[in-house]
Chains A and B, each alone.
Chain A
Amino acid sequence: MNKRLLHWSLWIIGLLGLLLVITMFSLSVGSSKIPFMKIIPLLFDNQETTEKIILLNIRIPRIILGIAIGGALSISGVILQGLFRNPLVEPYTLGISGGAALGVCINIICKLNHLSVATLPISGFIGAMVVVLLTYSLGMKKGILKIQGLLLTGVMISFIATSLVMLLMAMSSSQNLQGIIFWIMGSLDEPDWILISIMLVSSAAGLIIAYFFYTDLNALALGEEEARHLGINVERTKKSLFLIASILTGVSVSVGGVIGFVGLAVPHVVRLFFGSDHRIVLIASYLVGACFLVVCDTLARTVIAPLELPVGVITGIVGGIIFVYALLKSNRNV
């Protein structure tokens, strides 16, 4: 068997194992502690105990959402960093988060959320997609997607959206303000199974579709011209990848709010360890992102329990420290 394939498979199994351990840990800790050993028997028990309800209705949905969003944001980061050949690009650079925040902001101020809470993610998604389409059409020139131009317009649109959000916040009542701020800071507290399923399905689909583009991503690392010389249909690839990354980010932001740093740091750290081949980078980023977000969310709900910290704050602090550490370590090795 191919040595590299074996090496990769072992790593993937290792990361899956890590994710399982983290999941079990996250299931057991919280305001009511459930011992490790009791978790599995509890779930298959026919009795409706309080502990089973806590697991099924509170902890399991959060963990699933953490895995789906952590994975989605990470591969979105991998795709965009590969597409732009720029390690500083992340899913939110192109204004997707700004657009979603603006959508939610308008929703809260217009009190649409009083009709149904489900309108929040919908308006977030609409906001995100409006920004994506705007960036995309401004980046298009004679049928060619200008990557560097796309980046600049994306950053500018992001600024505009963020400023508009601040403007709306400055003019809104304190009650609305709290709703907006909490949404922006991100949270995995989402009881609606329909939304969780949508998130899980799009995240898994994103990973699978991204794999159809692994040669394209590997070739694009050499630059657009070189990729063409290797037989890649660069224009089609750029458009498809941009679309995949946008939808993944849009859905994630709409469901979980603005959870920063995952899409920037995870692909980076994964590349430091696994190199630049997207066959391993994609799946490893997905798994590392999932582990990372579940850990951060567990911290967020336990550190100052019974109060809860916004998970975006934890991802920023924990992720930032790990990131700097990884960079320092890799510099020393070179």
Chain B
Amino acid sequence: MLEFSNLTCGYDSGFFLKDISFNVKDKDFVGIIGANGSGKTTLLKSVTKLVKIRKGTIFFENKNIQELDFKQISRKIAVVSQRPEVSFKIRVEEFVLLGRIPYIEKWQFIETNQDREIVYRAMEETDTLDLRNRLVDSLSGGERQLVVLARALAQQPRLLLLDEPTNHLDIGHQIKMLDLIKKINRENGLTVIIILHDLNLASEYCDKLILLDKGLMYKTGTPNEVLTYENIEAVYKTPVLVEKNPISSKPYVLLVSKEEIDKRNG
């Protein structure tokens, strides 16, 4: 469904992703991990043409992404950005309706009933139907993320890109959000690429991981292959222990403070 082939892209200010080659299959749940500044967000932005591609190509459903315009992309790919700002007064229902913009024709003044149905379904799926008359800026962080997810689903995408959607959420809301994304991935067959900071969440939810280091692809594979202590220590420059989660038997990363390590070493 999505193929990066020798992709080099970046900003004029000097940061570049280099030689990314990777294949995302239909219905995959792919996690992007890596230290701050390793290029995770840049990689997502390259898919929606927000950063300039210098070399290589991205193929989406076998078409070169450069040949698709923004409207065509927005009907297939939806993005849940990092900490989306909503600085104006808008009710949740209207906010989710904005997700139908890709389908509105130039001469069309009002949404169709079909648009509304899709919006209601998206709100139902994300458990936000009860919030529909609230103002978006009055919602809690967790509720707001769900509403943004609902708007992305209203775009009826084939591919969903998420940039740290669980940032600033408590563990309850983190699990709720990720369970929901997983459910949508399994039941609706939506392909998901998600940036996660929390390695344990990434391990628990993703089928495949991409570990980025300073703009290069350090390692890709299943969580078992990527989340080894050698890989993590090399990229994050911090000692860790990797155990197995007793229930899911996925790798589990434990952190240790420097003081404890010093104590151990005498």
A residues contacting B by CB (< 8 A) are 2, 4-5, 85, 212, 215, 218-219, 221-223, 225-226, 228-234, 271, 275-277, 279
Residues of chain B contacted by A85 (CB below 8 angstroms):
87
> Which of B147-172 touch A at CB < 8 Å?
155
Distance in Å: Cβ of A115 to nearest Cβ of chain B: 45
Residues of chain A contacted by B77 (CB below 8 angstroms):
229
In the complex, residue of chain B having the shortest beta-carbon distance to the beta carbon of A235? B70
Asked if B102 and A231 sit within 8 Å, CB to CB, the answer is yes
Distance in Å: Cβ of A327 to nearest Cβ of chain B: 13
Asked if A233 and B70 sit within 8 Å, CB to CB, the answer is yes
> Which of B97-150 touch A at CB < 8 Å?
98-99, 101-102, 104, 106, 109-110
In the complex, residue of chain B having the shortest beta-carbon distance to the beta carbon of A86? B87
Distance in Å: Cβ of B62 to nearest Cβ of chain A: 21
Residues of chain A contacted by B182 (CB below 8 angstroms):
none
In the complex, residue of chain A having the shortest beta-carbon distance to the beta carbon of B93? A4
Residues of chain B contacted by A212 (CB below 8 angstroms):
106
In the complex, residue of chain B having the shortest beta-carbon distance to the beta carbon of A2? B110
27 chain-A/chain-B pairs, Cβ below 8 angstroms: A5-B110, A218-B101, A223-B85, A225-B50, A225-B81, A226-B84, A228-B70, A228-B74, A229-B79, A229-B81, A230-B74, A230-B98, A230-B99, A230-B155, A231-B72, A231-B75, A231-B102, A232-B70, A233-B69, A233-B70, A233-B71, A234-B70, A271-B88, A271-B89, A275-B91, A276-B90, A276-B94
Q: Bound state CA distance, A228 and B68, in angstroms? A: 13
Residues of chain A contacted by B217 (CB below 8 angstroms):
none
Residues of chain B contacted by A222 (CB below 8 angstroms):
84-86, 98
B residues contacting A by CB (< 8 A) are 48-50, 69-75, 77-79, 81, 84-91, 94, 98-99, 101-102, 104, 106, 109-110, 155
Distance in Å: Cβ of B159 to nearest Cβ of chain A: 12
Residues of chain A contacted by B79 (CB below 8 angstroms):
226, 229
Residues of chain B contacted by A228 (CB below 8 angstroms):
48-50, 70, 74
In the complex, residue of chain A having the shortest beta-carbon distance to the beta carbon of B102? A231
In the complex, residue of chain B having the shortest beta-carbon distance to the beta carbon of A142? B12
Q: Bound state CA distance, A58 and B69, in angstroms? A: 53
Asked if A226 and B81 sit within 8 Å, CB to CB, the answer is yes
Q: Bound state CA distance, A291 and B106, in angstroms? A: 30
Q: Bound state CA distance, A226 and B87, in angstroms? A: 13
Asked if A221 and B88 sit within 8 Å, CB to CB, the answer is yes
Residues of chain A contacted by B104 (CB below 8 angstroms):
215
Asked if A276 and B74 sit within 8 Å, CB to CB, the answer is no
Residues of chain B contacted by A219 (CB below 8 angstroms):
98, 101
Distance in Å: Cβ of B161 to nearest Cβ of chain A: 9
In the complex, residue of chain A having the shortest beta-carbon distance to the beta carbon of B135? A334
In the complex, residue of chain A having the shortest beta-carbon distance to the beta carbon of B48? A229
Q: Bound state CA distance, A5 and B110, in angstroms? A: 8
Residues of chain A contacted by B155 (CB below 8 angstroms):
230
In the complex, residue of chain B having the shortest beta-carbon distance to the beta carbon of A219? B101
Known: A219-B98, A223-B85, A276-B88. A229 touches B110 (CB 8 A): no
Asked if B101 and A231 sit within 8 Å, CB to CB, the answer is yes
Residues of chain A contacted by B75 (CB below 8 angstroms):
231
Shortest beta-carbon contacts, A-B, top 5 = A231-B74, A231-B71, A231-B102, A230-B101, A229-B79
Q: Bound state CA distance, A234 and B94, in angstroms? A: 21
Which of B72, B73, B101, B155 neighbours the largest number of chain A CB atoms within 10 Å of its CB?
Answer: B101
In the complex, residue of chain A having the shortest beta-carbon distance to the beta carbon of B80? A229
Which of B48, B49, B73, B88 neighbours the largest number of chain A CB atoms within 10 Å of its CB?
Answer: B88
Q: Bound state CA distance, A21 and B192, in angstroms? A: 57
Residues of chain B contacted by A218 (CB below 8 angstroms):
98, 101
Asked if B81 and A275 sit within 8 Å, CB to CB, the answer is no
Residues of chain B contacted by A230 (CB below 8 angstroms):
74, 98-99, 101-102, 155
Asked if B81 and A232 sit within 8 Å, CB to CB, the answer is no
Residues of chain A contacted by B78 (CB below 8 angstroms):
229
Residues of chain A contacted by B85 (CB below 8 angstroms):
222-223
Q: Bound state CA distance, A88 and B84, in angstroms? A: 22
In the complex, residue of chain A having the shortest beta-carbon distance to the beta carbon of B138? A334
Q: Bound state CA distance, A274 and B128, in angstroms? A: 23
